[in-house]
């Protein structure tokens, strides 16, 4: 079991679902990924956690704003939300949700980077975030698809201290990975050439599965849809699905 290193600042540490159908989402992801779900917590607006084999994986909540599409959000670990907020504003980002204490669990905030992608932060208290990575039913990669690659990469370097390694720097493939020591923990993709008009920059989460084809078929059986069919790449077999209310999440097998 790959445990998450809770000491690393600036790495993705949590992701959660804003959904118009919490009960349906609990059933869909439970059947698809083997996740269990805690009971909605009335103290925190009905928020609930997804777990797998007793380990925290992700969160979920009732969508609060009518008309906003259901979606998964990514949170980066920080040690000082107030200082991060100042750094975000100085680097050209915006504030969607100011720092907010969530009981003794931690402090959350949500920002936009200069390319328009929403990114959350989590300053952990008793809730340390996603407990496991890189196993079936757990996240295996986090990736920003951005319309402004230069502005986005500069922002995450300035605000979160990211060290970036270029994997490609052509108009056909411009991609960098964020690293901490020998560990790669996130990617940034130049999506300016393929994002449809009106589709904003956004973060994506990849869930590891044993068989992408079987998982996409299962998603459809459960009422979801295939948004991007399975493709075999050097980074594993990849696909993108949507759940029954339209929230998008990606699937990945580990490369052989």
What confidence tier does 156 reach under pLDDT thresholds 50, 70, 90? Answer: very high
Average pLDDT of every residue of the chain: 95
For the chain, give the secondary structure using H, E and C.
CEECCCCCCCCEEEEEEEECCHHHHHHHHHHHHCCEECCCEHHHCCEEEEEECCEEEEEEEECCCCCCCCEEEEEEECCCHHHHHHHHHHCCCEEEEEEEEECCCEEEEEEECCCCCEEEEEEECCCCCCCEECCCCCEEEEEEEECCHHHHHHHHHHHHCCEEEEEEECCCCEEEEEEECCEEEEEEEECCCCCCCCCCCEEEEEEECCCHHHHHHHHHHCCCEEEEEEEEECCEEEEEEECCCCCEEEEECCCC
Which pLDDT band, with edges at 50, 70 and 90, does 115 fall under? very high
Assess whether 113 and 136 both reside in one domain: no
Do 110 and 158 lie in one domain? The reply is no
Same domain, 151 and 217: yes
Q: Are residues 96 and 156 in the same domain?
A: no
Give the mean pLDDT of 111-121: 98
Which residue would you say has higher pLDDT here, 12 or 67?
Answer: 12
Question: What CA–CA distance (Å, rounded) separates 174 from 187?
Answer: 11
**Cα torsion for 254, 18, 188, 127, to the nearest 10°?**
-70
Per-residue pLDDT tens digits for 47-59: 999 999 999 999 9
Of 106, 124, 142, the position where a domain reaches its end is 124
**Structural domain span for residue 195:** 132-252
Half-sphere exposure of 203 (CA within 13 A, CB side): 25
CB 215 within 8 A of CB 172: no
Whether the pLDDT of residue 68 is over 60: the answer is: yes
Q: Could you say which of 95, 124, 153 is where a domain stops?
A: 124
Task: Please report, rounded to a whole number, the percentage of residues in the chain having pLDDT higher than 70.
Answer: 97
Q: What is the distance between the alpha carbons of residues 240 and 213, in angstroms, rounded to a whole number?
A: 11
243 with 136, same domain? yes
User: Which token pair is 159?
Assistant: 């605000």
Return all residues near 206 (Cβ < 8 A) that are at least 6 apart: 139, 140, 141, 142, 143, 238, 250, 251, 252
CATH number for the domain that contains residue 81: 3.10.180.10
Is 102 within 8 Å of 147 (Cβ atoms)?
no
Q: Are 143 and 177 a contacting pair, CB within 8 Å?
A: no
Read off the pLDDT band of 2 (50, 70, 90).
low
pLDDT at 182 over 90: no
Quick one: CA dihedral 169, 171, 172, 174, positive or negative?
Answer: positive
Question: Same structural domain for residues 6 and 104?
Answer: yes
pTM of the model: 0.96
Calculate mean pLDDT across residues 165-173.
Answer: 92
Predicted local confidence at residue 70, as pLDDT: 97
- How many domains is the chain partitioned into structurally? 2
Structure tokens at 226: 């295939």
Position 1 confidence tier, pLDDT thresholds 50, 70, 90: very low
Q: Are residues 248 and 153 part of one domain?
A: yes
User: Is a pLDDT exceeding 90 seen at residue 150?
Assistant: yes
148 & 99 share domain: no
| The pLDDT value given to residue 158 | 97
Same domain, 25 and 73: yes
Which of 124, 154, 171 corresponds to the end of one domain? 124
């Amino acid at each position: 079991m790959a445990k998450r290193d809770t000491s690393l600042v600036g790495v993705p540490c949590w992701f959660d679902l804003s959904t118009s159908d919490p009960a349906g989402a609990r059933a869909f992801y439970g059947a698809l990924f083997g996740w269990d779900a805690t009971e909605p917590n009335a103290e925190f607006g009905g928020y609930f956690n997804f777990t797998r084999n007793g380990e925290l994986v992700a969160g979920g909540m009732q969508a609060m704003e009518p008309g906003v599409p259901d979606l998964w959000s990514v949170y980066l670990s920080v040690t000082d939300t107030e200082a991060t907020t100042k750094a975000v504003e100085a680097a050209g980002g915006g504030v969607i949700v100011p720092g907010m204490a969530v009981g003794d669990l931690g402090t959350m905030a949500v920002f936009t980077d200069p390319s328009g992608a929403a990114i959350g932060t989590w300053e952990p208290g008793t809730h340390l975030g996603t407990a496991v990575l890189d196993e079936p039913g757990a996240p295996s990669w986090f990736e920003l698809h951005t319309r402004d690659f230069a502005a986005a990469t500069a922002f995450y370097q300035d605000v979160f201290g990211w060290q970036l390694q270029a994997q490609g720097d052509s108009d056909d493939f411009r991609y960098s990975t964020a690293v901490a020591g020998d560990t790669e923990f996130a990617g940034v993709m130049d999506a300016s050439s393929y994002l449809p008009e009106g589709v904003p920059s956004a973060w994506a989460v990849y869930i590891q599965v044993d068989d992408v084809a079987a998982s996409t078929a299962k998603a459809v059986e459960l009422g979801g849809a295939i948004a991007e069919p399975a493709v075999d790449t050097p980074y594993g077999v990849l696909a993108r699905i949507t759940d029954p209310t339209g929230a998008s999440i990606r699937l990945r097998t580990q490369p052989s």
